[in-house]
Amino acid sequence: MIMKKLLFFVTLLTSMLNAQTVSDYVTVSGNPTGIVFDSKGILYVGTESDYGIKKFENNSLTTLKTGMNGQPRQLAIDSFGDIWASFQALGSIKSINSLTGTSVSYPAYSAYGMAIDPISKNIYFSEERDGVISVFDLNTIEITNLSHSIQGARGLVFDKNGNLYVASVKDNKVYKITQNGILSTVVTNVKNPSYLALDKDQNLYISTDYAGKIYKYNLSETTTEADLFVSDLGYTNGLAVYNDELYCALVSRNKVVKISLSDLSTAEISKNEMVIYPNPVKDFLNINIENNNLKIELYSMDGKLILTKENTKQVNVSSLSKGTYILKVITADKTFTQKISKN
């Protein structure tokens, strides 16, 4: 019974917080892995079964490169338009000409994640087995290691300020490394984080491998808890954002799907209908809404109903522990939800 209640809450929470449209973008046989878009909207997809890179352009899927004797993990595109791919089993990274498919290999033990620094334009890659984060200098063709070691390091992504984010499948955390080399933890509640992507609003998306979920975390958050964004996708691999849409490679379905980032959801509250303040809150949470007949429910992030109030527009939360909660406001014809941070 407890499990059924938990599953019901997870489904409810997902439907409250997410109304994203998931649609097939392209079918890619051969178990798609890493994905990346170039500036023209051409999609490149790594494939496991044929050790290849596919190219999707003008609604046509072609093979750019195959037979590389290893499974490409994460992909990136440098300032010259060349594709870069990490090959964990081969212990190498490769640059691949996007027109001819000609490739050049460089040694990189257990390379998994890959990203390009927007400031230096250098290639960064993670080594999952020994936790090393390395930098490949495109000018000197030299590889150096960062001072920090992150065990189980997988997906990498840079924000617009040049801060690097690293998914650790061993620690079940996402870390941040600044340009000055300062290490901090940004996300702690996502199990098996694998690939990362960022949108223009600095929302971080985290795929979860076999768990089939994608989480969302805004970099301005003061907590370390990401929100469940999409679930039941199957085996999720690479992520990419292009034209305000999120794309995800589904290895178990041989597809790349498109997930709308612009859809309005039932969780979004119109400023003309209701205002909740202050948030973060320390003691009293106020709800400014025209309707006086309402019911208020507050849930913990694991699905436990914390409190229920009716026909009031102020809730005393001073006794609650610090953390993140889900507020649900129910009127006769609408239901609103919002994440609340308790200080």
Residue pLDDT, tens place only, 262-274: 643 334 444 446 7
Residue type, 261: L
CA of 2: how far to CAs of 7, 8, 302, in Å?
9, 10, 12
- CATH 2.120.10.30 positions along the chain are 22-260
Q: How far is 178 from 163, CA to CA, in rounded Å?
A: 5
The predicted structure's pLDDT at residue 213: 92
pLDDT at 270: 47
Would the pLDDT of 63 be above 90?
Answer: yes
Q: Rg for the chain (alpha carbons), in Å?
A: 22
As a whole number, mean pLDDT of residues 191-195 equals 97
Q: 92: exposed, middle or buried (C-beta count within 10 Å: 0-12, 13-18, 19+)?
A: buried
In the chain, list all ranges with CATH 2.60.40.3080.
274-342
Q: Is pLDDT at 32 greater than 80 in this prediction?
A: yes
Q: Report the percentage of the chain scoring pLDDT > 90.
A: 67
Q: Say what the pLDDT of residue 20 is.
A: 63
Low-confidence winner among 137-141, 170-174, 226-230 (lowest mean pLDDT): 226-230
What pLDDT score was predicted for residue 255?
Answer: 96
22-260 domain in CATH 2.120.10.30? yes
Q: Per mean pLDDT, which range of 9-18, 66-75, 112-121, 301-310 is the poorest? A: 9-18
274-342 adopts what CATH topology? Answer: Immunoglobulin-like (2.60.40)
For residue 108, is pLDDT > 50?
A: yes
Is pLDDT at 192 greater than 70 in this prediction? yes
- Lowest average pLDDT, out of 20-24, 106-110, 147-151, 167-171, goes to 20-24
